[in-house]
Amino acid sequence: MKRWGVFCIVTILMLIGGWAMAAEKIGVIVVDVQGDFTKFKNGSLAVEGTDEAYIKAVEEATRRLKSAGYPIYATQDWHPKNHASFFTNHPGKKAFDVIKLHGKDQVLWPPHCVQNTPGAEILLDQKLLKAVVKKGMDPQYDSYSGFQDDGGKKTDMDKILKKDGIKKVVVYGIATDYCVRATALDAVTAGYKVIMIKNLSRGVAPDTSQKAIDEMKSRGIVILEDLDLEKIKTN
């Protein structure tokens, strides 16, 4: 009788262990929640809908995800003053003009997220973040993706996620149609399962944001309207 009891307990523990190991480890990537992209901080490239309530919602959701045990990573746009994506570095050009840069379309932005300026600061409690991945430091190349710049130079993102054993990433932030899109798509390419949370993200323009959502869906990314801890586990 006693041996049966031990057998049963060991079997149950092995089943639980196997189930726990089968659950894929989840990480969270909060994209570019920085002063210059927000109305809240009167940013130079303030995206629609980025008031204080939005930042509070992102902070609250991020706290819940961290409490659920998921490591939180943030990306940070971090440009030198002479960055090629700033219209001010192209005489005769104005904000939102599009030029060819290394053969690709490049939107010319107002100067934003300049290294060591207040507008470049991440608007989340630093204690929430396991790692911050900076991007866009090369003056010659833009870098919407948290994984690599437009010249193909990789950031540490993939290395960090691999080291932490992450298999699935939850992505949200600013901007839906630029850095969230590029980061989520590159995560798919790098082999991660990806969940994007729509209502925790804001886009530069409605039409490009809708296009980005459709494109992400077509690449197998699960789009959730709102944060849902159950759906994140099962999707």
Residue from the set 178, 185, 186, 202 that interacts with ligand VGL by CB under 6 A = 178
Number of Cβ within 10 Å of residue 82's Cβ equals 11
Q: Does 174 bind ligand VGL (CB under 6 A)?
A: yes
Least distance CB 33 / ligand VGL (angstroms):
9
Task: Closer to ligand VGL by CB, 77 or 186: give it.
Answer: 77
Question: Which residues are catalytic, by number?
Answer: 32, 135, 179
Query: Which of ligand VGL, Zn ion, none does residue 158 bind to, with CB < 5 to 8 Å depending on kind?
Result: none
Pairing, β 222-224 against β 26-31: unpaired
Q: Does 36 bind Zn ion (CB under 5 A)?
A: no
Contact track, ligand VGL, 103-142, x by CB under 6 A: ------x---------------------------------
| Bridge partners, residue 223, by sequence | 196
Q: What is the distance of C-alpha 70 from the center of its chain?
A: 14
Residue from the set 58, 120, 133, 175 that interacts with ligand VGL by CB under 6 A = 175
Least distance CB 126 / Zn ion (angstroms):
21
Query: Which of ligand VGL, Zn ion, none does residue 32 bind to, with CB < 5 to 8 Å depending on kind?
Result: ligand VGL
Q: Of 61-69, 76-84, 149-157, 227-235, which segment contacts Zn ion by CB under 5 A?
A: 76-84
Helix, strand, coil shares of the chain as percentages rounded to 5?
40, 20, 40
The Cα-based distances of 110 to 36, 117, 214 in angstroms read 10, 15, 27
Q: Phi and psi dihedrals of 195, rounded to 5?
A: -120, 130
Helices (H), the chain: 2-22, 52-67, 157-163, 181-189, 206-218, 229-234
Q: Of 33-41, 56-64, 73-81, 209-217, which segment contacts Zn ion by CB under 5 A?
A: 73-81
Dist. CA 144–CA 172, nearest whole Å:
13
Cis peptide before 175 (omega within 30 of 0): yes
Task: Closer to Zn ion by CB, 145 or 195: give it.
Answer: 145
Q: Does 200 bind ligand VGL (CB under 6 A)?
A: no
Binding site for ligand VGL (CB under 6 A): 32, 37, 77, 109, 144, 174-175, 178-179
